[in-house]
């Protein structure tokens, strides 16, 4: 399948004036009015990149920002489910694809290959060139309009998809990458390789988040370190980059992701809430310095 073959998957596309207000007047196309681009990365799968991408976007939205999420995890597009957007249709206008809006106020927009597949169980069985072409099309052909932040959720690893994403975004001067790890030494080692990738590609590192950092009992509030603890903070010290915080294992956060609910809005008293809002605050402070 080539990129052009996506027309067969987009038979429901609606041409209209939906993005007439999105027309770019600058030379850098559909990302012209995106102020800050942040990549969420980790050399390892299963550390919670998609969950962190979603929650950072929600926290920034509740801080009054307009946020887009670009899901370039082509083989595991989970963000549509986390934002209760499964089954939504992608439309098209003169500027390209219109992202899916996940709230009535249109403050969070999302693009994912999950919207282009016939069914949720369809697999993307592609070699590198086809994946790279799809990533380039996502970056160049989605009419994001005016955004304060574009969060890019990446797959695990440091190979083709990451190189394509960083190269395609380089002209737009991304703010940098948020690295996600879990406390174990195995995960920290993989993230260390991702830091090397960023150094080699010239991508700044905003900071490191240690996810699944202890389990806070919902009944007694005692924190149990199911895994080891402190690996993310030690890695940040080793690499000389900011440590953004620890996010504990929180059943309410898992429930929200499964059901596509707004965790930040619904569970302000949960164990993970202060950690996630603190991470968003640090990102906002960093963004204010890069304007």
Structure token digits, residue 52: 């962190």
247 marked among binding-site residues: no
Q: Which of 249, 261, 210 is nearest to 85 (CA)?
A: 261
Give yes or no for a contact between 169 and 37, defined as CB atoms under 8 angstroms apart: yes
Task: Please give the Cα distance from 84 to 143 (Å, whole number).
Answer: 21
Query: Partners of 270 in the beta sheet?
Result: none
> CB atoms < 10 A from the CB of 47, how many?
23
- Helix (H/G/I), strand (E/B), else coil: 54: helix
Task: Please indicate if the annotation marks 75 as binding a ligand.
Answer: no
For residue 49, say whether it is annotated as part of any ligand binding site.
yes
SS3 143: coil
Question: Residue 185 belongs to what H/E stretch?
Answer: helix 185-201
Phi, psi of 121 (to 5 degrees): -95, 0
43 is in an annotated binding site: yes
**Residues ≥6 apart with Cβ < 8 Å to 79:** 50, 53, 54, 69, 71, 73, 85, 110, 112, 114, 153
Q: Do the annotations mark residue 45 as ligand-binding? A: yes
Q: Is 19 annotated as a binding residue?
A: no
Tracing tokens 């590192």 back to the chain, one arrives at: 205
Q: Is the dihedral of CA 79, 83, 87, 91 positive or negative?
A: negative
- The annotation status of 232 as a binding-site residue, yes or no, is no
Q: Is 217 annotated as a binding residue?
A: yes
202 among annotated binding-site residues: no
Cα 275-75-91 angle, rounded to 5 deg: 90
* 256 marked ligand binding residue: no
Structure tokens at 148: 């304060």
Known binding positions: 43-50, 217, 220
Known binding positions for ATP: 43-50
Known binding positions for [4Fe-4S] cluster: 217, 220
């Amino acid at each position: 399948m080539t990129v052009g073959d996506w027309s067969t998957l987009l038979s429901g596309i609606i041409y209209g004036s939906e993005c007439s207000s999105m027309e770019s007047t600058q030379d850098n196309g559909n990302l012209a009015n995106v102020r800050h681009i942040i990549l969420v990365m980790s050399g390892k799968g299963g550390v919670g990149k998609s969950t962190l991408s979603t929650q950072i976007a929600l926290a920034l939205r509740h801080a009054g920002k307009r946020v887009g999420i670009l899901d370039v995890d082509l083989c595991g597009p989970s963000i549509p489910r986390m934002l209760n957007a499964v089954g939504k249709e992608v439309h098209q206008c003169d500027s390209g694809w219109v992202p899916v809006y996940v709230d009535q106020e249109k403050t969070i927009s999302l693009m994912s290959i999950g919207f282009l597949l016939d069914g949720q169980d369809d697999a993307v069985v592609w070699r590198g060139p086809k994946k790279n072409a799809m990533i380039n099309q996502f970056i160049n052909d989605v009419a994001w309009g005016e955004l304060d932040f574009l969060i890019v959720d990446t797959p695990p690893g440091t190979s083709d998809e990451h190189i394509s994403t960083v190269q395609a975004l380089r002209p737009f001067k991304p703010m940098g990458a948020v690295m996600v790890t879990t406390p174990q030494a195995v995960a920290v080692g993989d993230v260390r390789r991702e830091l090397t990738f960023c150094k080699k590609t010239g991508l700044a590192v905003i900071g490191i988040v240690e996810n699944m950092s202890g389990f806070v009992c919902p009944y007694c509030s005692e924190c149990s370190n199911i895994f080891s603890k402190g690996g993310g903070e030690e890695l940040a010290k080793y690499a000389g980059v900011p440590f953004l915080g620890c996010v504990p294992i929180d059943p309410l956060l898992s429930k929200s992701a499964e059901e596509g609910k707004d965790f930040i809005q619904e569970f302000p008293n949960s164990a993970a809430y202060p950690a996630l809002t603190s991470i968003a605050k640090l990102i906002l402070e960093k963004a204010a310095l890069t304007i």
